[in-house]
Chain A
């Protein structure tokens, strides 16, 4: 199979296949589940063939026994994701971008309770507002360059800088999708969704689209003014500290992990906005390592929630004795997010900091260091409250498939640190390509 055919299949096999899933469901439930799995697997395998970007796709096998429509949405979502990843045209990118918005609206409000729908509306309105502003940015880009094609834009913008207004319009869209301050509050609220959704979409994938597009446009395609760099860094900084503080106060497990995601996205922006090789590689590795570890945390939270029937961490305790596998996986993933060796997060955090140090931004580095301290403190706090101390709610270990998924993610976090050379090589190649075209 040649590469262009593979590329088309990655996007359109799941997108079109998604609409066939409900039909398959009429024949048999298992056929539907199997078909969904196969569709995603095709996409995944083909992606691995091209670039190893979607490691998180494997989580899909958790979604058993969900009502009709769930698989449709998940697969459609992944297809749209792939669409964004491979679009080289701004309008196409915008279309896929909106598909993910609509699908996540449906997925967040999945249980159709009053609160679910309200939160889904909130997420939808904020992200769509951002997307529309971004579209304005695209149009103004068109006015300046006469094209929506990224390759053409790159050629045209080689010698002239981009107006800051365009940059900020596009940035608003990116920030709203990646749940960064001041557009972040929808993400903690989206915790009402089923756990696989929050894990896959809102921690591992969806919020990373924003970061991906940031890298694609602002790093790979055109250079942005130094002022804009500074502003992005400051926004990321505020986002990191404020949401880390919120994570320390909240008592709802899923909300804490969501705040933690918002906080960590700040680190990714710091790396990508640094504009130097080491920072960008750090940012790219951070996307990967954080995606794996955070998905693991959300799935562990799902297991805990399912077995204790509560999300309030102050009502839990001592669960390490009854659910050791989940506890250890949770700890491993936490360590990776904190950036403790030998886990993968160590290298990505270090490289991101190094990028900032190379720019001589010592004040910014200092504040992000505070963010890293807070990360350690709030993650240990939830680990302590859920798994250590006195048992308050008796709960048994999750089902084998679920435990297997979280253990797999924990092991991947560990392997990502020990065998850092493989992902680092990919990230380096990607960063070289990005920077080589700018300078």
Chain B
């Protein structure tokens, strides 16, 4: 029975997606109802499967590529989370996509993404995991492509970035399987030899790229503008983070025997810290609701990678706790953004303002989620961030400073966002705006409620979801449930949040507008220059990579043309030169031929008689 349910979680969304494709246009509500039913069923299944274990394997393509699935506490937990988001965002879409002509395609790709994500979570074979993982590329490409007329540029960018990192992962999996002698994930546990480190790095590239960390992040802000909004709430904010961090945790905890002493731990922490800082710096200056959120989606991954990279109990628990917390509040934030977009027709902060009174429920949900992401006690983000601070502090003060500085800027940018969108003077165009319909509010309220629940009663997620996954051995006897924050860290957090508020108030006072509250940082000497360059995408790794590729391609084309020149010109010229000479000798003159014949005869005679 469990096995059938397990396969149903992969197969049903896939079949429903194909069914949506063939539903005729005249039947209006069929695709919505179908999507709700399938995702609702998925949620029920995930609840039923939670805390159960199962191993299943049948041979597939040979060479160690088996179709093997494994349900245990970690995969069950991630499965539950994706099913929850899948259902809530599907509900949201029924209202959000009501009059969009791409709705049909959206549901198709949405359901396929869900199926592939479930497959990747449950897979117990590296290649099967890659099959589902990389298979997501197609549906992501489609989801961005339908967003609008110019969305294809972003879709291509996404495809190239994610495709390239997935190929790196393919090589990493090959090396891992080669070293371990098996591709079954649950049987692999490799010591960290140089070759294994290479494999780990390649797998890590795939994992952090899926999670959206730097330097593989640059498609996310572009997709925020071009792609349909539920896509942002569904994939980059929730599912991809879950999947990427899930896999990073798997390779760090299970597949490779990492210790805090190995060089991989500092590498992860450095990637995490840099991602936190750079992305949040960019978030601070954004003037678009969705784009600002998308930079935070990048920045927050930094905390998770930093937490897992510390390899100490507090950091690891914090990293995973932050993963689920982030998925919650970030998708909630994107949904509030969608609510604003749907009702006002814009997400440009310059055109928004004073929406708090018109859309009170959206505003409250925004407040809860923004407080969570900023790490305000007692919301869920506070607890996970404190754990990460704790872990970072243990490994080096520099990492702690980076994390705290990131928190300061996060709080500052959310104060700016909330002020610009929901407070301040009302925009004339937004006079008739009213609250969003119920199908859009229910998901936001539910998620915001869970944000509070996971904060106030953090024993629930920590004792039942996170700590069992990490295991008693790695926890070293710690239990982080409840209020375990040290006095110093707590005080520092309060000071930082207070400073962020003061900074905002000072900025508002200086410029008289919520939107421009961060201008003193944006236009600070030195920073201003860097910001200009960054906005022009000078630092975009994608553009730099493409420039290198273009140079390589021109070189290669030059070599190719040179080879063709040998055939087309050199050989032809040489041959016609020789034939030309021979031709000249054959001039049709009788005397010439006689001379040739006599000379030839003479040579022969000379050779014979010599």
Contact = CB atoms under 8 A, between A and B. Distances in A.
* Chain A complexes with chain B: yes
Interface of A: 122, 126, 181-182, 184-186, 241-246, 248-250, 259, 278, 281, 335, 338-342, 346-347, 349-351, 353-354, 357-358, 362, 365, 369, 372-374, 376-377, 380, 384, 388-389, 420-421, 424-425, 428
Chain A at the B interface: SS class: helix
Given A242-B556, A376-B160, A377-B549, A421 B167 contact: no
Contact of B568 (A122, A380, A420): A122
Interface string B100-134: 00000000000000000000000000010011101
Interface in B555-601: 555-557, 559-560, 563-564, 566-568
B564 A185 contact: yes
B175 interface: yes
A365 B134 CA distance: 19
Contacts of A340: 134-135, 137-138, 163
Nearest to A126: B567
Nearest to B566: A182
B4 interface: no
A232 B555 CA distance: 22
B428 interface: no
B60 A357 contact: no
A238 B128 CA distance: 31
Given A248-B553, A347-B65, 5 more contacts: A185-B563, A241-B552, A244-B556, A340-B138, A425-B62
Given A340-B163, A357-B174, A380 B62 contact: no
Chain B at the A interface: SS class: helix
B164 A248 contact: no
B552 A245 contact: yes
Contacts of A377: 160, 546, 549
B488 interface: no
A249 B554 contact: yes
Nearest to A281: B63
Interface residues of B, number: 46
B61 A357 contact: no
B135 A341 contact: yes
Given A185-B563, A281-B63, A354-B63, A338 B556 contact: no
A92 B393 CA distance: 76
Contacts, number: 123
Contacts of A373: 164, 167, 549
A365 B170 CA distance: 11
A380 B542 CA distance: 15
B159 interface: yes
Nearest to B549: A377
A354 B553 contact: no
A374 B174 contact: no
Contact of A420 (B60, B130, B549, B566): B60
A380 B138 contact: no
B171 interface: yes
A246 B549 CA distance: 11
Contacts of B553: 244-246, 248-249, 374
A278 B556 contact: no
A243 B556 contact: yes
Nearest to B563: A182
Contacts of A376: 159-160, 163-164, 167
B556 A365 contact: no
A362 B198 CA distance: 10
Contact of A181 (B135, B159, B563): B563
Given A245-B560, A248-B553, A340-B163, A353 B134 contact: no
Interface in B26-66: 59-63, 65
A351 B62 CA distance: 10
B141 to A, nearest CB: 9
